[in-house]
Amino acid sequence: MECDHWDKRDDEDEGIARAVVASAADAIVALDRDLSVVTWNPAAERLFGWPAEEILGRRPPFVPEELMAEHNAVLERVRTGGTVQLRTRRFRRDGTLIEVQADISGLRTPSGALLGYVGVYHQRDDNEAARARSVRRAQLVRRLTDVVGDINAELDQNVVLDRIAGSLTELTGADAGGFVLIDGEKLRLVSSHRLPEGMKGATADLGSSLVGKLLRTGKPVILETGPEGLQDLIWAQLDGLHTIAVGIAAVGGRPYGALYALFARRKPGHVELELLELLAGHAGIAVGNAVAYQDAVRQRAHERAVFDASADGIAVLSESGTVTRWNPKAAELTGYAYEDVIGRPPPFDLPAPGEKLTFQLESGRWLDVLCATIPETGEIVADFRDITSAKELEEAKDLFLATTSHELRTPITVVTGFASTLADRWDKLSDADRRAHVHTIAERAKSLGRLIDHLLLGARAGAAEPSVRDEAFDLAERVRAATLGLPVLSDRHRVEVRVPDDLPLVRGDALATDILLDQLLENAFKYSPDGGLIQVSAWAEETRVVLTVDDEGIGIAPSDRERVFERFVQGESGDRRRFGGVGLGLYIVRSLARAQGGEVAALPRPEGGTRMQFVLRREGFVTAPDTPGR
């Protein structure tokens, strides 16, 4: 009987509670922890316009979008204890906004566990207190607008973070604040205000922190009070700290960091939480802008480094065809400095996009020019490289083929002519005539053989370094053998040999040196057509032996003293080309000299003509000779 008595008593109490809620003059709205409506009394139906059957089990649709941050802040404050009273606005079912006074508290079990939230609403006219709160909120929102503008005007990430931390304390009234970066599974304090400077850079574990807790809840802000909730914040060295408010800052839709507002003297309300949430959102935007700007700066620096270091000349032209960028290689190739071309057309023609144009500058340099259009900007990028060497080699090869054909045709024509004469008129020719014809044929055949030997030597020298011996031999003996009989070859030339009897032995290949000496002497005769002295001299120095062949001929222009050692080159067309040949002699000479560890060079003579200097290593010395010059 006693048990039945208490069951009836509970039912009566529950019925009375329902009657109280149903009869209340104020609208009573109860939400569960998921923020779905579990109680919606008749006063709520009258105030907001929705009948209970339409609203129960749903999230109440009466909170305006611009007040969601305020709504979330109020619920967060209630969740941590206490009751919030505020003046705010809510929607009616017909879409109109009404001013209401709201008292929000937690719905808890007798043991204190949170079951949800209870809101008591009634419509009120303006009063001084409401106006004061509204004015204060408006002032803070205006200040927030100024702060956001100031933050977004800065593009240095560190400065942005420092300004955010400073603004946080100003707007929320916090005693200190900081910005922590989410770095993998760690938090790192990157900016702070009114905290010890030595705390910057301190780290904490993300999973056990308030930030980790906030991320797991999916809420924008969280409020913690009491010693237990503050233990994770290892850098919060603030006397009297009792409350922490945390807001997430997202960049690109992903959590980037969090704002910590630390309270030691005052307690934050829903307005402070709302401002924290708004500031965190703007902080994410400002940091995102700074990160994007710094990425763009790094990308631009990388592009500049590639642009400046390119082995090709690169020019960027505006839509109107004037130069806006000009890299160092472009200046080197064209001879035009940046300041000479900027804002002007380039000093060469441009091909159509995707095509190539070969162009010769006034300086004589040849360029291959390519260009492409940037569709987004209409700019034109021109890329050009120096092909002068390739062009000269191409021209030299063409000249070589023409010259070789001529050099081969001449002895062949002579041999063919004299051989035909012998065959057709053998009986009519005297013995002297027949011997003269045969002698001419033999001489021309020898000339043809020497030409072919030069061609073969040039081909082998071009394919790889000639194979030579490395042994001691007597250079003086090779000179005497090479010059023996030369004085009788021409009645316009005098040959003088100055080689000391005690000239030391040299290291190298005697046969290769014979070929080399023959070519140097042949050149001396060929390029001094008016005769004159041909002098061969040799002397010893510390680690080398130097040999020179001097002539009084036409000489070599300074710009051609290196080019004459290239294949198919005989100096400038004109003076030297009239002497025939295929342009391989000096190329073979240098190849043979270097293969022996020596060197050869063309030097000027003050009296006119040319000095060819050949250097070899002295026997007993392994050091390679210096570049010739005396």
Q: List the chain residues with pLDDT less than 50.
A: 1-2, 5-6, 126, 463, 571-580, 582, 630
Hey, what CATH class is 465-618 in? Answer: alpha beta
270-309 and 157-172 are packed helices; what angle lies between their axes, rounded to 10 degrees?
A: 170
3-state secondary structure (DSSP) of residue 547: strand
Hey, what CATH class is 391-460 in? Answer: mainly alpha
- 515 close to 600: Cβ distance less than 8 angstroms: no
| pLDDT at position 217 | 87
Nearest to 74 by CA among 82, 66, 548, 579: 82
Establish whether domains 20-124 and 391-460 are of one fold: no
| pLDDT at position 580 | 47
Per DSSP bridges, beta strands 493-498 and 532-540 are parallel
Please enumerate in sequence order all residues whose Cβ is within 8 A of that of 172, keeping only pairs 6 or more positions apart, or say none.
245, 261, 268, 272, 275, 276, 279
- Using CA atoms, how far apart are residues 412 and 336, in angstroms rounded to an integer? 52
| pLDDT at position 579 | 45
| pLDDT at position 32 | 93
| pLDDT at position 52 | 92
User: Could you state, in order of their start, the residue ranges of all structural domains in the chain?
Assistant: 20-124, 133-296, 313-384, 391-460, 465-618
Residue range 313-384, CATH number = 3.30.450.20
Name the token pair of 15: 């019925």
- Using CA atoms, how far apart are residues 292 and 251, in angstroms rounded to an integer? 10
Element of type H or E holding 17: helix 2-23
Unique residue bearing structure tokens 């002098």:
535
Rounded to 5 degrees, what angle do the CA atoms 163, 169, 170 make? 85
What does each C-alpha distance from 32 to 53, 254, 376 come to in angstroms? 17, 29, 54
Hey, what CATH class is 133-296 in? Answer: alpha beta
Residue range 20-124, CATH number = 3.30.450.20
| pLDDT at position 396 | 59
| pLDDT at position 291 | 74
- Mean of all residue pLDDT scores within the chain: 80
| pLDDT at position 476 | 92
- Using CA atoms, how far apart are residues 104 and 384, in angstroms rounded to an integer? 74
Name the token pair of 17: 């509670």
| pLDDT at position 577 | 44
| pLDDT at position 293 | 75
Model pLDDT for residues 58-97, shown as the tens digit of each residue: 999 999 998 998 898 899 889 888 789 988 999 999 999 9
